[in-house]
Amino acid sequence: MKTRKDPIMNRLHSALLAAGVVLAGLSAPAFAQGEAAPSAAEAGISPAPIEGAAPGSAPESAKGAEAAVGGASEHGGEHATPHYPLKKPAYVDWSFAGPFGHWDLGQLQRGLKVYKEVCSTCHSMNLVSFRNLEALGYSEDQVRALAAEYQITDPAPNAQGESFQRPGIPSDRLPSPYPNPEAAAAALGGAHPPDLSLIAKARAVERGFPNFVFDIFTQYAEAGPDYIHALLTGYGEPVPENVTVQPGTYYNPHFISGPALAMPAPLSEGAVSYDDGAPTTVEQYSRDVTAFLMWTAEPHLVERKATGFVVMIFLIGFAIMLYLVKNRVWASTPH
């Protein structure tokens, strides 16, 4: 059966086609004689900021970012946007990985020491209290002594209405080395260091298809620790000729937001001494502090995995029981 078209819609469709032809004819002569199209600067359009530019870098860092891929992209373009990180992190064998993962308390204690002596000079950890460190194997007295090493600004003023500092107590949170983010940025050349409390869950490199499908079965959740470990150990590589590193930044191909970042290499050989005889290398420091940051981001990781394993066993047993009951109930009923 034929359908009757709406004459109003037909006329509207014809009018739109005619308007498109007229506009195309008006705009085509502008470049018909070989004229070059006006650039964004000539047209008065300011370029949009590049996502992931290195902290504190100048707008010219966009040129270095484009050059970071050798002037070519997966589509064959000459000035295509690069994909960061330039090098994806390698997979590290963590003790807390997998459905039966567990915390290595010795490693976590070493990671806390690396954080105290290296990372805490710039980065805060505002969501971790001193009393939480008892989960790392420290006694209550040890935690109390550790908290007393810090001077904490009491949130409540004294009788004269003035703020004052006092030794820390277990209920206090690990203090920031700067009074506020603005002071931190001013002291570090305009780059505000992020808080490290949840950094292991907040930073990760996408694995893409089909890896994220396999992760459902392998319980892979270590993308954040793998990235942090790669970033901490990725300094010192030679800068390629086609990469421009802005002054005040440091080349690191594992950085997720650009070819360089404002943080210099924080770890060096022998910077932190270990009491348990562990190697004092950058690789060991990186593994220890990364494991500690994963614990601060998800301290109940091991308990969650243990609970999930018990739940899965229960669901499998419950499904088998339902199947057997169904067969028993309907055994005498003809199908």
Query: Do 289 and 115 form a contact (C-beta atoms < 8 A)?
Result: yes
* Residue list for the binding site for heme c: 119, 122-123, 263
Query: Do 288 and 111 form a contact (C-beta atoms < 8 A)?
Result: yes
* Residue list for the binding site: 119, 122-123, 263
Phi, psi dihedrals of residue 198, rounded to the nearest 5°: -120, 20
The SS3 assignment for 261 reads strand
Two structure tokens written together for 142: 């040890």
Two structure tokens written together for 243: 């990469």
What burial letters (b/e) apply to 145-167, b meaning 16+ CB within 10 Å? ebbeebebeeeeeeeeeeeeeee
CB-count exposure of residue 283 (10 Å: 0-12, 13-18, 19+): middle
Query: Do 203 and 228 form a contact (C-beta atoms < 8 A)?
Result: yes
Closest C-alpha to 257, from 65, 111, 105: 65
d(CA 242, CA 239): 8
Bond prior to 259 in cis (omega within 30° of 0): no
Radius of gyration of the chain (CA): 29
**Number of neighbouring beta carbons within 10 Å of residue 313:** 10
Query: Do 95 and 111 form a contact (C-beta atoms < 8 A)?
Result: no
